[in-house]
Amino acid sequence: MITLAQILRDHEASLQQFVGARLRPEHHAALQSILACHTPACGEVRYHCRACQQVQQAYPSCGHRSCPACQHGTNRQWLDRQRQKLLPVDYFLVTFTLPAQLRGFAWHHLRWTCHTLFQVAREVLAQFARNDTRLGSQLGLVGVLHTHSRRLAFHPHVHIVVPGGGLTGHHWHARAGRYLFNGRALATVFRAKFLTRMREQGFTLPESIPGHWVAQCEQVGRGDQALTYLARYLYRGVLREQNIVDYDGEQVTFRYQDSQTRRWQTLTEPASRFLWRVLQHVLPKGLRRVREYGFLHGGARKTLHRLQLRLQVALPGIVTQPRKQRVCPCCGEPMGITLWRRPCRWPVPTTRRRCLA
């Protein structure tokens, strides 16, 4: 399998030349982590078999959230936690998207833009819930930030998974049918609130901002399917290494699924351009990609548990995966750890330093 680290080792210099000053501290940290993953720079673990005296060594992963070779179980763990919050109601997926004319602004003010996307999306949905007499005033929301399109272009938007119902005090009001809110109305209010936040912050609005923005609200069944889709891009970066289908040393070909036709297509481009296409989606340090609100917030566990008891929810059990024991390739006996070396540190181009631990 072609790996991102392999391409990066071959073209790190050309990437630096192609991107130049657009590389931020978080990009440098991601580059160094991906290159160090499963190498001695991430430390060393030695194993010993008492039965046949076999000795093996292994190098840990870097643990960076944008490294495609790491965090194999993290997505599954997040999805298992979300499944423990499911309700026996229809779910809706609401998507708020910034127009193309604001993507340059979003790139230069990424942290502010991402925070504001979440805040405004939450306020808009809360306002619509309060104005709907058939729906409880408090919703449960799970928001996931995406900065990429299917072709991995810079395309900031936020997906919100919403159970079809709301709370008013301790009373649950379920939403019947396949309709939650009107997408055009959501987009209108979202546009007004976001531009107001920009003015209040002192930003100058571009003259070419369109009058109509895009917001979608669709029914997605019982919610598990939508959560499974969102879990794919929470960790391990925006591109699965299995989708890198060809690399000849200069050109890289990767595949993606077209959002309209649902068919798989390929895109071929120089390695430096491909690397930047992937790395531009690395988020600044400390910026959370997932946020929860309402009765799905981590601090509202008691409210959620009471609601699940009232709705007689049968929750799926959490399957705990036992820690894998390394087995001797010669005799098949378990091997013990005889040495664990901490990962080294390397300088990062910022005032702070980051450890791979």
**Residue 49: pLDDT over 60:** yes
Classified as helix, coil or strand, 310 is: helix
DSSP symbols for 32-82: HHHHHTTSGGG-EEEEE-TTT--EEEE------TT-TTS-TTHHHHHHHHH
pLDDT for 341 equals 84
- Across the range 98-108, mean pLDDT stands at 95
Q: How far apart are CA 261 and CA 114, in angstroms?
A: 29
Residue 73 tokens read as 């179980």
Read off the pLDDT of residues 219-266 as tens digits, 9 standing for 90 and up: 998 888 888 888 877 877 899 999 999 999 999 999 999 888 889 999
pTM: 0.87
pLDDT of residue 249: 93
Q: What is the DSSP letter of 179?
A: -
Domain boundaries, the chain: 74-238+281-310
The 3-state DSSP class for residue 246 equals: strand
